[in-house]
Chains A and B, each alone.
Chain A
Amino acid sequence: MIELENVAHSYGGGELLSDVSLKLVPGSFHFLTGPSGAGKTTLLKLCYGELLPTSGRVGLFGRDLRGMSRDDIARTRQRIGVVHQDCAFLDHLPLDENVALPLTVSGRAGLSEEGNLRELLAWVGLTARANALPPELSGGERQRAALARAVIMAPDVILADEPTGNVDWEMSQRLLTLLVELNKMGKAVLIATHDLALIRAAKAQVAARVLRIKDRRLHLAGAEL
């Protein structure tokens, strides 16, 4: 579904990522690790078309990212759920409308989705906070809401950038459980994190592969975890 072939990216200056190849297929579960600044977020951005590779090829659902129009990219993003590191909410809209935003902008908001939204909010335990504005939420609530927004379109792929970055252990376990459940429904999951305990906990529940960015390249990290 998402395919990176010998991809390199540079923000000007030296390359941050070189010769990266990655294939996300239905039902796969990947972790992406590496020190801060190694390029985890950049790699995710390449996967949903926010950045273009400086060389190599990015394929999204069988199409080359370079050949896609702006509307193609928009439609592709409706099939990729992303949990952004900073959550990326609209601060003037209440939580429920923020979670429903992908439905709204794709013209699918309506009564039929009303039930789905309530169910989803209950699933991430935010029913009571539905009318709160994003700045009023705690870090954990924001990240659960971000996950809810990422999956509301029933996407084929879920990309999560440090989804457990500022939540306590118990909460990160709950978030992980949500992602594992989604993975068992056949979704491809890629989680960027440097929380090794989280990765260990996940390996007990799912056959997760661990990728590590080191010296600008992507390695498959193996047994040491």
Chain B
Amino acid sequence: MSAAQRLRVLLAGDRQADRVVPPTGFTVWLTVFTAAAMAFLAVFALALSLATGRLADRWSEALARTATVRISAPEGQMQAQVAAVMEILRTTPGIATARVLPEAEQRALLEPWFGPDLPVAQLPVPQLIEVTEDGAGYDAAGLRLRLAGEAPGAVFDDHTRWRRPLVRAAGRLRALGMISLGLIALATAAMITLSAKAALAANARVIAVLRLVGARDVYIARAFVRRFAGRALQGAGAGTALGMVAIAFLPEADAAGGFLTGLGFAGADWALPLLIPPAAAFVAFWATRAAALRVLREIT
């Protein structure tokens, strides 16, 4: 029998084979509940991995393309230094655009901290110049040297100083999310194994009788495997659905909180949690099968 055929037989079910093992009652619900809880957690671990992945990508890509020059100079020299810096930036290969931030934009940046009535013009606020690099990139160290020589009040900031640890943290969070998914799968396997072993022990006599009348090991194992894979599928289905609903109704993170892009799925990512129930069934299948065949080896 091919793998596909075997799978079809397994899913189509054998009413008769299911009946040879008596119903187990209460423990059914423990297995279903465990699978549901684990699937619920898996949805969040998955959302965490995907969201931090997006965050890390955004920080490393979008922010890498921009830099800032900050000029702090006495009132009289500001204009001259800005002009000098703009000249340097214009002649530096690898820089696409350089733009002096107008006063209105600078005020908008400061507003969250100082309120709307701040007289920016009367304060010694440094002038900001937004720099966008082109595809090829530029020599940051060389640029710093030239700026230091010609405009002593200018500080070049390409954001790497604070971006790098953030990207690293996001990457680490993504790895933790993946590890959590792995642990959830292992814990599910462990719990299914325990409950399968309990069911096998409770049915030791049934198993012995089936062996005596000529049942092959796979036949006996299948009766248990089908049951546990089915329960895991049901439970994980319910848990995944609940988890996805919970994620869908998370409060939207607005622009101000844009730092945390919000835990959630974007676009096609919504399809990924749908893989959790079949994965749970797969884990249950192998865990139960291994437990059943181990028990069967003990009897002739």
A and B: bona fide binding partners: yes
A→B interface (CB under 8 Å): 48-52, 70-71, 73-78, 82, 84, 88-90, 92-93, 97, 101-102, 104-107, 109, 149, 153
CB–CB A75/B300 < 8 A: no
30 contacts between A and B (CB under 8 A): A50-B212, A50-B300, A51-B300, A52-B300, A70-B216, A70-B217, A74-B214, A74-B216, A74-B217, A77-B213, A84-B212, A88-B208, A88-B212, A88-B213, A90-B20, A90-B209, A97-B19, A101-B209, A101-B213, A104-B17, A104-B20, A105-B20, A105-B210, A105-B213, A105-B219, A106-B214, A106-B215, A107-B219, A109-B16, A153-B214
Contacts of B297 in A (CB 8 A): 70
Any chain A CB within 8 A of the CB of B178? Answer: no
Total contacts A-B at CB 8 Å = 63
Give, as a whole number of angstroms, the nearest-CB distance from B190 to chain A.
27
Contacts of A50 in B (CB 8 A): 212, 300
Besides the contacts A70-B217, A107-B219, what 9 more A-B pairs have beta carbons closer than 8 Å?
A: A49-B300, A52-B300, A77-B211, A89-B209, A90-B20, A101-B210, A101-B213, A105-B215, A109-B16
Give CA–CA (A125, B300) in the complex, Å: 33
CB–CB A74/B215 < 8 A: yes
Interface members, chain B 203-225 (any A CB < 8 Å): 206, 208-217, 219
Any chain A CB within 8 A of the CB of B112? Answer: no
A71-B216, A74-B215, A75-B214 known; A104+B300 contact, CB < 8 A = no
Q: Which residue of B lies closest to A102 (CB)?
A: B213
Interface size on B, residues (CB 8 A): 20
Any chain A CB within 8 A of the CB of B22? Answer: yes
Contacts of A71 in B (CB 8 A): 216-217
Q: Which residue of A lies closest to B213 (CB)?
A: A102
Q: Which residue of A lies closest to B217 (CB)?
A: A70
Give CA–CA (A68, B300) in the complex, Å: 11
Give CA–CA (A89, B208) in the complex, Å: 10
Contacts of A104 in B (CB 8 A): 16-17, 20
Give CA–CA (A125, B64) in the complex, Å: 88
